[in-house]
Each structure stands twice: as C-alpha cells, then as structure tokens.
Amino acid sequence: MKSILKLLTLLFIVITIQSPVFAADSASGWQDEVTQLETIYGGRIGVSAWNANDGQQLHYRENERFAMCSTFKLLLVANVLQRIDQKQEKLERLISYDKSEILEYAPVTSQHLDKGSMTVADLSKAALQLSDNTAANLLLNTLGGPQGLTDYLRSLGDNTTRLDRIEPNLNTNLAEDPRDTTTPKAMLLTLKTLLLGDTLSEASKQRLIHWLIGNQTGDDKIRAGVPATWLVGDKTGSGANGANNDVAIIWPEAGHPYLLIVYYSGSERSKNEKNAVIAKISQSVSKVFYPE
C-alpha cells in the first residue's frame, strides 16, 4: 500500500509540474507563475532564491513573515556545529534523556530509549534528516533554549528570524503571530552565510551539507522539481494552518550552487498538493537560473 501511495504522489507531482499553465522560464514571468499557484491552490507563498553563479536573485513575498516549523532545525544544528568549532561542544558527547522527553514525533530518539542517551552528532543527524522533534529539543537545551538560538542568529547579522518556543508548540502558525518566524529573504541570507560563507569551519560546513544531502523528508518538495542528477541538500518543515516549507542548497550537474527558500502557508489543499506546489516552484527557479 505504501508503495502505491508513493507512486500516486509522484504521478501527481509530475502531472502538476508538466501542466502547460505553468510555463514561465524567465525571470520576467516568474512572479506571475507564483501568483497563479496562489490563485489555484490558495494560501500565501514566500520565495527567495540566489544563484552563486552570477548573483541573480528571485523573490516573492520575501519580506513577509512565515512560520519556520522544522526548517529551524538547520539553524539549530549550525549553531551546535559552531559551538564545536569554538571547543564549547563535542560531537561525541552523550546527551541523556528519558521516556518523559519523547514527543509524538521522535522516530530516532524513541528507538534509543534503552540506552537512554545519544551523541550530539547523532542527535544532529536525527534532527536534520528525519526531523526528530525530541532530538531538536535536546539540542536546543544545550544552546540556552529558543532565546539562545535567536541570539546566535543575531550574531550572524540576522535581525529578523526568531525562535520563541520548543517542539511541538512552535508549529502553531497562527495568523499575525511573529513567534517562531522568519522571512524568505532573511533565511536566504542566513543560509548563504552558513553554507557558502566562512562562519563555520570547513569541516563543520561540509558536515552540515552532508547531513542536508542525506535528508529523508523532502523527496516530494524541492528535490522533485529538479533533475535527478542534480545534488540537493534540504530541510523541510510543516505545521498547522497549512504550513508547508522547504529550504535548500542545490548543485546543478554543471555550474555553481544556488539557494532556494520556499515557505507556504494558509492553503487548505492536501499535503501532496502543497508539496507539488513547492516542487513546481523549484522547477521554475531551476529553469530561470539554468535554462536548457
């Protein structure tokens, strides 16, 4: 049954991507395409993209706030890695936890209850690649909680992104609620600093990218919109009131990488349909940055 559902999901994405109504392949028509997607599927879409090849940028509602949901975990692990660079933390250090800390969505930490601990490295990998909520909370505790992560972002020059709560409460995505939000442009600039800058050591940067490439939750989102031969590292997120997000670094077969941030909120469509919208945006951005 799972294989059948997976096949149907992929077929839905392919049909949506190939639909002739979405044919923009230039920057001039790109914003109109995103507007069409909002009109058809409902909700509010925020996009920011930057091409390292020539500096070209694409933006749509780039300064509007969106709930980060689990995309914050990329920032969280980056903070952990910077503390490791500064000799304030160790990848191999064990963090203990018990059954009372296991949340409803904890696919990795729940499997290690018999040991009662996991290393910082394994918790980071679990938070990024399977979006384990307990792993994220345990790591947040080492940073001083949500405020500690927010302070780290301020030190990077990001004065917009903020984390106010822990999992799972940070996913409420209430209208006009600034808690646990960012803007597409702010997230883009911060990922540029973290993934393509020199804030992290080269070893930590490559470790973070490697974990992102191994993400197991994003096959139907940004990854679905680019050729299978391209390399993608991403972090997804979803929450209440239609929140459905993906942030990524993408390497074409030939050329420099580019960053793509997509936040989607307020649509009442199915998860598969919202994923397909993100995949379509991913495809359209790829065609603008690297036209065939």
Residue 24 lies inside a defined structural domain of this protein: no
Q: 112 is written with which tokens?
A: 């290690």
Residue 16 lies inside a defined structural domain of this protein: no
Residue 28 lies inside a defined structural domain of this protein: no
Rounded to whole angstroms, the Cα distance separating 98 from 144 reads: 20
Task: Mark whether 286 is an active-site residue.
Answer: no
43's CB contacts (< 8 A; 6+ apart) are: 242, 264, 265, 266, 267, 268, 269, 274
pTM listed for this prediction: 0.92
Q: Which residues span the domain enclosing 253?
A: 41-289
Q: How many domains does the chain fold into?
A: 1
Residue 35 lies inside a defined structural domain of this protein: no
- Given the residues 19, 26, 48, 70, select the one marked as catalytic: 70
Residue 7 lies inside a defined structural domain of this protein: no
| CATH number, domain with residue 156 | 3.40.710.10
Rounded to whole angstroms, the Cα distance separating 257 from 22 reads: 24
Residue 30 lies inside a defined structural domain of this protein: no
In order along its 292 residues, the chain shows pLDDT tens digits of 444 444 444 444 444 444 434 445 567 789 999 999 999 999 999 999 999 999 999 999 999 999 999 999 999 999 999 999 999 999 999 999 999 999 999 999 999 999 999 999 999 999 999 999 999 999 999 999 999 999 999 999 999 999 999 999 999 999 999 999 999 999 999 999 999 999 999 999 999 999 999 999 999 999 999 999 999 999 999 999 999 999 999 999 988 999 999 999 999 999 999 999 999 999 999 999 999 7
Residue 160 lies inside a defined structural domain of this protein: yes
Residue 13 lies inside a defined structural domain of this protein: no
